[in-house]
Amino acid sequence: MIIKLENPKILTDVVGIISELVTEVRIRVDKYGLSIIAIDPANVALVSFKMPANMFSAFEANEEIIGVSLDAFKNVLKRISGSLVMQTEENNLRIESQEGTRKMFNLALINIEQEEKTMPMLDFNCNAQIESGDFSEAIADCAVISEACSFICKDSKFLIEAKGLNSIKSEIKANVAGFGKSKYSLEYLQKFARAAKLTTRTIVSFSDDYPLKLEYKDNWELAFILAPRVENED
């Protein structure tokens, strides 16, 4: 495998976000491009990232699975300026910067013994397309009130609210279809909302007391699945 990316910023940013959820991943490289699917250790959240082959200026790869430490991968990507080339050599992933000072990093590949994950097929009653900045702000507002917040679709409106001793409700401008209400952990939502800086639109899908799907799309696709927050009854 040898692939070249002229502008690695999206890859660097996404790897940084994913590293907040998991410590190591299996990266698939095949004729379609580069992809990652991983589930956090608590089995609460899933993340999926796809970067198609046409985003790379050079792409020579058969189907290959690369296991890496995300902290190591993230830290190396941060040190790359300009274009980068990645290639596998025996048990290493070689990452090379080809602009300015030539840098050549070698990351040891790791064996991750787990079944390959797939994106679950889910049906949602509510879908909303929101300005990413508005979504990020609403999540930050809720985080100062509670540990969880509710997403609500009703009367063609999309609301996010959190309640504790105090409360906050945000009615966000959105293109809304359907109805539903479900509660989710803000610990995870704050991590997901970091992706708001990557694209202008956030796609939100959920149903009553059902997993949430957040999607960020450009030429690439980044998606999160989050289990609903279940409250213990006294």
Q: Which domains does the chain have, with CATH numbers?
A: 2-108 (3.10.150.10), 126-226 (3.70.10.10)
**Nearest one of 49, 38, 70, 32 to 216, comparing CA atoms:** 49
pLDDT at position 82 is 87
Token pair for 173: 């401008």
pLDDT at position 98 is 78
Which single residue is written with the structure tokens 């274009």?
83
Query: What is the layout of strands, in order, in the sheet containing 45-52?
Result: 64-69, 24-30, 33-39, 45-52, 221-226, 212-217, 201-206, 126-131, 174-178
pLDDT at position 234 is 36
Q: What is the dihedral of CA 45, 136, 199, 56, to 10 degrees?
A: -40
CA–CA–CA angle 97, 98, 104 (5° rounding): 40
Main-chain dihedrals φ then ψ at residue 229, nearest 5 degrees? -80, 120
Show Cβ contacts of residue 99 under 8 Å, excluding neighbours closer than 6 positions: 81, 82, 83
**Tens of each residue's pLDDT in the chain, 234 residues:** 999 999 999 999 999 999 999 999 999 999 999 999 999 999 999 999 999 999 999 999 999 999 999 999 999 999 998 899 999 998 999 999 977 788 999 999 998 877 778 899 999 999 999 999 999 999 999 999 999 999 999 999 999 999 999 999 999 999 999 999 999 999 999 999 999 999 999 999 999 999 999 999 999 999 999 999 976 543
Which single residue is written with the structure tokens 């590949």?
109
pLDDT at position 101 is 82
Cα 141 to Cα 60, 91, 168, 211: the distances in Å are 45, 45, 7, 22
Asked whether the beta carbons of 35 and 28 are under 8 A apart, the reply is yes
Show Cβ contacts of residue 121 under 8 Å, excluding neighbours closer than 6 positions: none
